Amino acid sequence: MINIFEVAETNEMIEKENLDVRTITLGISLLDCIDADLKLVNEKIYQKIYEAAKELVATGEYISAEYGIPVVNKRISVTPIALVGGAACKSPEDFVSIARTLDKAAHEVGVNFIGGYSALVSKGMTAADEMLIRSIPKALSVTERVCSSVNLGSTKTGINMDAVKLMGEVILQTAQATADQDSLGCAKLVVFCNAPDDNPFMAGAFHGVTEADKVINVGVSGPGVVKTALEKVRGENFETLCETIKKTAFKVTRVGQLVAKEASRMMNVPFGIVDLSLAPTPAVGDSVAEILCEMGLEYAGAPGTTAALALLNDQVKKGGVMASSYVGGLSGAFIPVSEDQGMIDAVTAGALTLEKLEAMTCVCSVGLDMIAIPGDTKATAISGIIADEMAIGMVNQKTTAVRLIPVIGKGVGETVEFGGLLGYAPIMPVNSFSCDAFIGRGGRIPAPIHSFKN
């Protein structure tokens, strides 16, 4: 039988170390909403989401009360809208009407984000894909809860450099369209290489076409729990360090598995996956960077950071995989800048640069995340940064992503405040040398060779 120390340990994790279930995300297929009539498409989408998700928020709150564990976010992901709206939309403006419908449905059922305003263009763009991409700045400026993502490359297809070029422009336009909110629109827009179909985390969640009609995916969190566990093994060798992370990740993930199974049972929707990610928040003691510091680094970004992050990411997976029957999504340590107090401190202290962050993304999920850059950064520079990150994902057969926020009207040394879970960030300098001619070439980078691994 459970003893008092085990109960106390669990409750300490919840109350003092910020253990929570970060999100229950209900994936909903909208493929059956496709129609040539735009008005009908919008009606069908609203109805389908409303019917599928009306119990989602109440279910999350009920589970939270039963087990005494916070379920922070309840969210929805849908089929990439470029596929759903392709037959009906004749202009970017038509796609914006679907974004408004998604936003309305999200408000009605009470979820804080809805993801899937997306296009998958890793090899080429259809006319609908391109229209959706061009509609993103408007869509994100007229809606509140819609999140958008674009898959620009994969290990199997290479990188679509035409789309990379376009996305550099779209990110800047989105920043301009939401300039009055410190370019907040860009916080809801992410580009991927090797985007997973079952990611529950925003802004990159969408319900892939390989998925069932509806599915429950859960994202756990708990950097604070890992950090506290590591405080107890200060000075011990790497074997002890790794074992401690693994055991802690197991416990954290078990909670996610329990919540996912319970939500699945209550809503009568199949359980998809648990995403093992260590997702930080701006709260003190809920930081991935603090784990790196606890391992023995002065700041995230110091020499040794990439190695520390690599072992953290690997041990989290090793512990988590055994704790859940199905693992998926992004699964690893997230290193967003604005959402992690330790990362913010590292940038402010001058310990962490964009280039070091890029190196770190080689060994963890997901990529250059929530990084504020000067508002006068050129579109081609943004495309160049995206291309670099996509190349890392393509060659290393992993998911990588870029979520940059060019803050209009602000420059290096200034700070931008997004509020809530999105946090705040010092604006980081971008390498100012030109890549215009490289980005201007157009076409695709071919898929990499899968042998001669050097």
Q: Which positions touch other proteins (CB under 8 A)?
A: 1-4, 6-11, 62, 65-69, 251, 254-255, 257-258
In the bound complex, what is the minimum distance in angstroms from residue 216's beta carbon to other proteins?
17
Query: Considering beta carbons, is residue 185 or 224 the nearer one to other proteins?
Result: 224
What is the rounded distance in angstroms from the CA atom of residue 267 to the CA atom of residue 60?
10
Q: Phi first, then psi: give them for residue 439, nearest 5 degrees.
A: -70, -30
Query: Considering beta carbons, is residue 257 or 400 the nearer one to other proteins?
Result: 257
> How far are the Cα atoms of 334, 392, 437 from residue 385, in angstroms, in the given order?
18, 11, 14
- Show Cβ contacts of residue 397 under 8 Å, excluding neighbours closer than 6 positions: 155, 194
Continuous H helices in 143-237 = 161-177, 223-231
Strand 400-407 relative to strand 189-193: parallel, antiparallel, unpaired? antiparallel
In the bound complex, what is the minimum distance in angstroms from residue 69's beta carbon to other proteins?
6
Q: Smallest Cα–Cα separation from 394: which of 335, 332, 449?
A: 449
Query: Considering beta carbons, is residue 255 or 379 the nearer one to other proteins?
Result: 255
- Show Cβ contacts of residue 50 under 8 Å, excluding neighbours closer than 6 positions: 105, 108, 109
Query: Considering beta carbons, is residue 266 or 302 the nearer one to other proteins?
Result: 266
> How far are the Cα atoms of 216, 256, 414 from residue 261, in angstroms, in the given order?
9, 9, 45
In the bound complex, what is the minimum distance in angstroms from residue 278's beta carbon to other proteins?
17
What is the rounded distance in angstroms from the CA atom of residue 115 to the CA atom of residue 95?
15
- Show Cβ contacts of residue 172 under 8 Å, excluding neighbours closer than 6 positions: 377, 379, 382, 406
In the bound complex, what is the minimum distance in angstroms from residue 359's beta carbon to other proteins?
34
Query: For the chain, what is the largest distance between any 2 Cα atoms, rounded to a whole number of angstroms?
Result: 67
204: which DSSP letter?
S
In the bound complex, what is the minimum distance in angstroms from residue 394's beta carbon to other proteins?
38
What is the gyration radius of the CA atoms in the chain, in angstroms?
21
- Show Cβ contacts of residue 261 under 8 Å, excluding neighbours closer than 6 positions: 271
Query: Considering beta carbons, is residue 4 or 449 the nearer one to other proteins?
Result: 4
Query: Considering beta carbons, is residue 8 or 209 the nearer one to other proteins?
Result: 8
Query: Considering beta carbons, is residue 20 or 94 the nearer one to other proteins?
Result: 20
In the bound complex, what is the minimum distance in angstroms from residue 228's beta carbon to other proteins?
15
Query: Considering beta carbons, is residue 68 or 446 the nearer one to other proteins?
Result: 68
Query: Considering beta carbons, is residue 6 or 93 the nearer one to other proteins?
Result: 6
Q: Using alpha carbons only, what angle is made at residue 376 by residues 374 and 377, rounded to the nearest 5 degrees? A: 75
Q: Smallest Cα–Cα separation from 263: which of 324, 198, 219, 217?
A: 217
Query: Considering beta carbons, is residue 12 or 355 the nearer one to other proteins?
Result: 12
In the bound complex, what is the minimum distance in angstroms from residue 59's beta carbon to other proteins?
14
Q: Residue 412 corresponds to which amino acid?
A: V
In the bound complex, what is the minimum distance in angstroms from residue 258's beta carbon to other proteins?
5
Query: Considering beta carbons, is residue 62 or 424 the nearer one to other proteins?
Result: 62
User: How many other β-carbons are positioned within 10 Å of the β-carbon of residue 130?
Assistant: 18
- Show Cβ contacts of residue 419 under 8 Å, excluding neighbours closer than 6 positions: none
What is the rounded distance in angstroms from the CA atom of residue 77 to the CA atom of residue 441?
34
In the bound complex, what is the minimum distance in angstroms from residue 9's beta carbon to other proteins?
8
In the bound complex, what is the minimum distance in angstroms from residue 248's beta carbon to other proteins?
11
Helix 38-53 with 92-109: angle, nearest 10 deg: 20
In the bound complex, what is the minimum distance in angstroms from residue 244's beta carbon to other proteins?
16
